[in-house]
């Protein structure tokens, strides 16, 4: 269910050949390339083409997670243990399936003692040394740039719409730009002539380091990691934070400009305690608070939003650390990935979480599409954790994250009528399977939300009017 009624774009894991690190197949092996052949545990090039074509044909466009900063780790050994069986030798930095040789890596430029990044306040070290032992490509060389662009252009020819640039912080902005300048326009079978690929860059910038997200604005959007970390702190009510403080959410909180921001509540790294954000990050494990955070994100106009779709793994904490944070997707005994089964209520089975299919999140994606372009309006708060706001005359959302019940009359800005609350139910034909909200002729409506509700928030929009 990725039809464009709900989702317009879908970001996929890296589709190029990666090292098979061991028979347990950790999730992070996808971020250790050994070639640019389209062949992973997710499928081969024929299957990838079929997916892209079918998605494009229903208006759901594919963004590829592009791992172009590095190849595999120095400890990956040598042999044919790649997803396609390609030979490589990490020790001698030989990747004949590309081909790359020792001359195509940054060993000579890195000035740290170990060859790895040791000091994040040393800009050349962050960009020229190895990230966690991963062999760092010499992206100032035109040959390397051309091989990367060749891979990305092959994906564009197949029909992808854009790229997440993995580890962009560890590349010089001008090298990223040089590669992007080599990219073709999107395939005119699905896109207007002259359409450029959508680009967003993974730049972890929590402040306090010399490399900032703004270094990369010239190349496209950047990931705003402060977004999920701060929103999680507020929704959890940690450090004296409360939802009333969200009135100036966005740039007012020190975030990058809205038109440069790619925002999310959690991602594949920080939902496991990796990357950036720390313990405040909300995930599907915290379902009640998580749905509120995603609902707030999708209702608020700031940034270009991304919804996570996850799989469960057997968390096991030792001294506060999840020792199973490496576990890959649900797998059969032979290592093959389990199919995504669909339950009667349209959620997923087989340990696939599929947050994007949860009614509350799915319906808030519709809400975001309905209110697109409408101004942030009619903010209300109780100076604590009950807040509400509208989007022009198209939508309105109300939260009760306090420890007591909420019963308030609020100005919604919406036309008079009866609306279906899309959090507690769906509009089906002309009836509502959840709560109803009555908006009077002056735009006022009464909202009653128990602090014990499964989902202590409500949302209405003009397409959910009965």
Q: Which of 136, 202, 205, 241 is catalytic?
A: 202
DSSP readout, 306-360? -----B-----EETTEETTTT--S-B-TTSPBPP--B-TTS-B-TTB--GGGSHH
Reply yes or no on whether 166 is catalytic: yes
DSSP readout, 349-403? -TTB--GGGSHHHHHHHHHHHHHTTPPEEEEEE-SSSEEEEEETTTEEEEEE-SS
Which secondary structure element, helix H or strand E, spans residue 50, and what is its range? helix 45-57
CA dist list (Å): 29 to 38, 66, 313, 326: 15, 14, 16, 10
Helix axes 225-236 and 287-299, enclosed angle (nearest 10): 120
- Phi, psi of 307, rounded to the nearest 5 degrees: -100, 135
Helix, strand, or coil (residue 422): coil
Instruction: Tell me 191's DSSP state.
Output: S
Q: Are 465 and 370 in contact (CB under 8 A)?
A: no
What is the rounded distance in angstroms from the CA atom of residue 366 to the CA atom of residue 464? 10
What is the rounded distance in angstroms from the CA atom of residue 83 to the CA atom of residue 334? 14
Question: How many CB atoms are located within 10 Å of the residue 160 CB?
Answer: 26
On the question of a cis peptide bond just before residue 403, with omega within 30 degrees of 0, the verdict is no
Q: Which sign does the torsion angle of CA 193, 194, 197, 200 carry?
A: negative
What is the rounded distance in angstroms from the CA atom of residue 89 to the CA atom of residue 95? 7
Burial of 336 per CB tally in 10 Å (0-12, 13-18, 19+): exposed
Of 285, 264, 292, 304, nearest to 459 by C-alpha is 292
Q: Which of 29, 104, 128, 166 is catalytic?
A: 166
Q: Are 438 and 403 in contact (CB under 8 A)?
A: no
| Placement of tokens 């209520």 in the chain | 345
Extended strands (E) in 246-288:
261-263
Instruction: Tell me 167's DSSP state.
Output: T
Catalytically active residues are: 166, 202
């Amino acid at each position: 269910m990725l039809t464009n009624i709900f989702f317009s774009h879908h970001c996929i894991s890296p589709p190029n050949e990666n090292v098979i690190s061991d028979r347990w197949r950790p999730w992070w092996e996808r971020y250790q390339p050994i070639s640019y052949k389209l062949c992973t545990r997710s499928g081969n090039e024929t299957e990838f083409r079929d997916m892209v074509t079918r998605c494009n044909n229903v208006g759901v466009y594919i963004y590829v997670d592009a791992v172009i900063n590095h190849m595999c780790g120095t400890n990956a050994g040598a042999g044919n243990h790649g997803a396609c069986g390609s030979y490589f030798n990490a020790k001698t930095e030989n990747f004949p399936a590309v081909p790359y040789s020792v001359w195509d890596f940054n060993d000579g430029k890195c000035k740290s003692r170990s060859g790895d990044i040791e000091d994040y306040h040393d800009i050349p070290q962050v960009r020229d040394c190895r990230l966690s032992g991963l062999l760092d490509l010499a992206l100032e060389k035109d040959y390397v740039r051309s091989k990367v662009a060749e891979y990305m252009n092959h994906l564009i020819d197949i029909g992808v719409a854009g790229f997440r640039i993995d580890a962009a912080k560890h590349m010089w902005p001008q090298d990223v730009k040089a590669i992007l300048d080599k990219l073709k326009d999107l395939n005119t079978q699905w896109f207007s002539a002259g359409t450029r690929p959508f680009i967003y860059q993974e730049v972890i910038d929590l402040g306090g380091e010399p490399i900032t997200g703004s270094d990369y604005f010239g190349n496209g959007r950047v990931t705003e990691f402060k977004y999920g970390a701060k929103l999680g702190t507020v929704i959890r009510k940690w450090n004296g934070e409360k939802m009333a403080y969200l009135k100036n959410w966005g740039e007012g909180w020190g975030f990058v400009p809205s038109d440069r921001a790619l925002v999310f509540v959690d991602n594949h790294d920080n939902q496991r305690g990796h990357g950036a954000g720390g313990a405040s990050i909300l995930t599907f494990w915290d379902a009640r608070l998580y749905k509120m955070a995603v609902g707030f994100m999708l209702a608020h106009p700031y940034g270009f939003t991304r919804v996570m779709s996850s799989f469960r793994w057997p968390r096991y904490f030792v001294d506060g650390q999840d020792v199973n944070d490496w576990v890959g997707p649900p797998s059969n005994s032979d290592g093959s990935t389990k199919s995504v089964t669909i339950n009667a209520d349209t959620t997923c089975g087989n340990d696939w979480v599929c947050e994007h299919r949860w009614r509350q999140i799915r319906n808030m994606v519709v809400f975001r599409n309905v209110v697109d372009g409408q101004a942030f309006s009619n903010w209300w708060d109780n100076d604590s954790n009950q807040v509400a706001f509208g989007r022009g005359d198209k939508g309105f959302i109300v939260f009760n994250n306090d420890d007591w019940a909420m019963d308030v009359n609020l100005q919604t800005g919406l036309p008079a009528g009866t609306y279906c609350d899309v959090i507690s139910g769906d509009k089906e034909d002309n009836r509502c399977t959840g709560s109803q909200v009555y908006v009077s002729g002056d735009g006022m409506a009464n909202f009653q939300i128990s602090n014990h509700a499964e989902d202590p928030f409500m949302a209405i929009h003009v397409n959910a009017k009965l």
